[in-house]
Amino acid sequence: MGNDKSENQWTIVFFSGTGGTRRAARELKKQMDLQNLNPSIFELGAGEIPDSVIPSTLEGMHIILLFPIYAFDAPSILYEWMEKTSFTDCDFIVISVSGGGEIWPNTGCRSPLKGQIENKGGTVVHEAMLIMPCNFYIPGSDHMNMRLLNILPQKVETLIKDLMEKRYNHSKSRLGFFQRIVSAAEKTGAHYTGSKLKTDEKCTGCGICAMNCPKENIEIVSSRAVFKKSCILCMRCIYNCPEKAIVSDSSFVLKEGFNLEALEERMKGIEVQPLEQCAKGLLWKEVRKYLSAPEFD
Ligand SMILES: Cc1cc2nc3c(=O)[nH]c(=O)nc-3n(C[C@H](O)[C@H](O)[C@H](O)COP(=O)(O)O)c2cc1C
């Protein structure tokens, strides 16, 4: 990082659909505060810290971006924010939050955003991946997910240590052809899938979904939620509906829902299973590696 940036010029900017990335960002803020680094923190997309208050010009900052991976790429909301913000002499730390880890084809997931940062004159100095419970298509077991939540503070501690000691990792990985196709298809598919969401008779028209939608894609019409065409499939409306009234035919949506607080409640007082038992199979190979990294033995 440039020497001219003072130690306290840290900014965390994040987007989170269903809370995993928010937890990671908050943990980072908490630990950085303890080290008197005192970062500002901004949440994109109708979060509790509205992005409307993020300065439109950022200067001389270390900016830490955190986002969930959507189809091997960052959510479009990150690109939209970058587009409308100007950066002068900023160093970026790019943290992807994944359900599966550095498994191919996730490996290129930060590349397009890194390209955008460089186009805007920023410098990417470090990148890393955190793994949080998967909110999409294939759920992890409660035990594995609990392990991921439990290990987060240590992973964040390592990240901060790497930053402080300038132990940077900045790969040259690129998004391959297959990943680019899937990423583009996902964005179109999300608009389509989102526009086909419906509510059943349990919908009370309470408006929580509309209030929380990061794309202002939901309207309450005659006491029922109506879904428009700019959905990014962040899943926030579906999983947070208090009546479980939002229905989708898509196999991407976890039938059992997704709620980190409910997971912790279910797992209260239960001893987590050994890693080999709760994270079996090729799919969770990188998760096993992440959970059993030597520094956490
Ligand atoms: C539309 C969509 C696409 C996703 N694609 C990927 C992916 O390509 N690779 C991956 O590891 N996880 C993928 N995930 C899982 C999320 O990245 C992961 O669960 C993340 O922790 C969610 O963060 P959040 O709770 O902050 O929204 C996807 C999730 C969604 C909703």
pLDDT in tens, 89-99: 999 999 999 99
Q: What is the pTM of this model?
A: 0.95
Beta strand 91-98 with 198-199: parallel, antiparallel or unpaired?
unpaired
Q: Which residues contact 13 (CB under 8 A, 6 or more apart)?
A: 41, 42, 44, 54, 63, 64, 65, 66, 81
Whether residue 176 has pLDDT greater than 70: yes
Phi, psi of 267 (to 5 degrees): -95, 0
Q: Give the tens place of pLDDT for each residue, 82-139.
A: 999 999 999 999 999 999 999 888 988 999 999 999 999 999 999 999 999 999 999 9
Q: Give the tens place of pLDDT for each residue, 251-297.
A: 999 999 999 999 999 999 999 999 999 999 999 999 999 999 755 44
Q: In angstroms, what is the span from residue 78 Cα to ligand 1's centroid?
A: 14
Which structure tokens are listed for 284? 């969770």
> Which residue ranges have their beta carbon within 6 Å of ligand 1?
16-22, 68-72, 97-100, 106, 132, 134-136, 233-235
> What per-residue confidence (pLDDT) applies to 2?
46
Closest residue by Cα to atom 27, ligand 1, is 17
Which structure tokens are listed for 19? 């809370």
The residue-averaged pLDDT of 56-73 equals 95
Q: Position 137: which residue type? A: Y
The DSSP code for 73 is: B
Confidence band (pLDDT; 50, 70, 90) for 34? very high
Least confident of 4-8, 51-55, 149-153, 160-164: 4-8
Alpha-carbon distance of 229 to 192, in angstroms, equals: 7
Least confident of 33-47, 60-74, 152-166, 198-212: 33-47
Q: In angstroms, what is the span from residue 55 Cα to ligand 1's centroid?
A: 27
Whether residue 1 has pLDDT greater than 60: no
Strand runs labelled E in 99-165:
123-131
